[in-house]
Amino acid sequence: MPALILLGLGAAGAIWYTGSEARGTWASAFLWGYAGAWICYAIAGMVASRSRRLPRWALVWVVVVAVALRLIALERTPPLSTDVWRYLWDGRVANAGINPFRYPPDASEVTHLRDANWRWINFKHISTIYPPTAEMLFAGLARVRGSDAEVFRWAFALFDVGSVLLLMALLRRTGRPPERVVWYAWCPLAVTEVTAGAHVDAVGLFLLLLAFLLSSRKEGRPGLASGIASGIALAAAVMAKGHALLAVPFLLRRGGWRVAGAFVIACALLLLPYLGAGRQLFGGLRAYVGAWETNASIFLVVDRLLERATEDHFGWARALTVGAVLLIVAVLARRQKPGLEPMLGASFAAIGAQLFIGAPTLPWYAIWVIPALCWWAIPGLALFTLTVSAQYYARWLYPGDTAAHYALLWAGYVPVYALLVGQGMWRWVRRRRQVR
């Protein structure tokens, strides 16, 4: 299909432009290139979703372009985050025989490990927030190249390509056209945040998708071997990034005791090497939960409403939003139907609930829910992959301008919520009509 060829080339050209200096600041060039890539991506997704029969080469083209986009972003897109320097530091500390959870980067006990990269680490007074699977990976990659962040970008890009392949397999298992993987494979958010952003979320998503695939090897409950393997993959995903924790109830309900037993044992074994840190094991996580609200929407509204009622408004906002997310997870788990596709839908819905209700809502967190678009048409979510990045990185065009930051925030969220609520109401009306 010629349209798919042109759209792939257009997306590649737009990702190339993200590294251009033609429009001044890096943020301006990045946003223009990102928007161009998103337009090509959205049209390609609609083409793949609405075409009854695509030629055999279409899937090959989707994968080729997916790989090309990531290679171009590795070379051209400017660094979008400093998180990779924390990864490198944690790996360096672990390879020196020190528990990375024990000391923050500015502690005197690890002064001897500082190198030229140390100055790029953010929040040096906070110990690491990353779970054991991530820490083990950081140590391994840091051992390969102890002072070069590029090894992380390349490794995460490989995991991301692996996620594309796993999604194709899952689509086939659910009877969906594998070409619909274009909704993840060409998404500029996934492309840029995994490569230029170098976010470990790519590893967590890969492991979660692997757990999904392993749990689907048989109709009904998975067999003994696949159930154990699925539980191990699920534990590794949770211990790579906490977002995977919200998918646990749905995988356990499908997999039964096999998945549950393997999951618990694997989690314990992954935590075991780091227990010597004591309470510091969760010190970074406590600091994160107690302070971060960047780019949030509903959480921000709740926090501002409580601000006049209590001094601990942030804590109450956190408690209320966490409670709301857990309630949604409980309802979804109770209503979960048998089969692979309902499990996928419930898992992505639960993670999406945290993304929209909780805080922070950083662009790379959206990587966890983009795969839902491969199964379901959700215009609000598709638009969110554009607005969540635009509103976050556009802040660099208005440094220190609080009014501009809030204007950008709501300019991004209002149309997204309008589409999500509108789609929900339309489905409710259709069900009512069918009942009558």
Q: Per-residue pLDDT tens for 351-387?
A: 999 999 999 999 999 999 999 999 999 999 999 999 9
The reported pLDDT for the residue numbered 20 is: 87
Packed helices 313-335 and 283-291: angle between N→C axes, nearest 10 degrees: 100
Instruction: Indicate the pTM of the whole model.
Output: 0.95
Q: Provide the residue ranges of all domains of the chain, joining segments of one domain with +.
A: 2-435
Q: How far apart are alpha carbons 322 and 326 in whole angstroms?
A: 6
The H or E element containing residue 286 is helix 283-291
Spell out the residues 6+ positions from residue 52 whose beta carbon is closer than 8 angstroms to its own. none
Q: What percent of the chain has pLDDT over 70?
A: 97
Q: What is the mean pLDDT of residues 181-187?
A: 98
Q: Per-residue pLDDT tens for 258-317?
A: 889 999 999 999 999 999 988 889 888 888 888 888 999 999 999 999 998 999 999 999
Backbone angles phi, psi at 126, to 5 degrees: -110, 130
Q: What percent of the chain has pLDDT over 90?
A: 76
Would the pLDDT of 166 be above 80?
yes
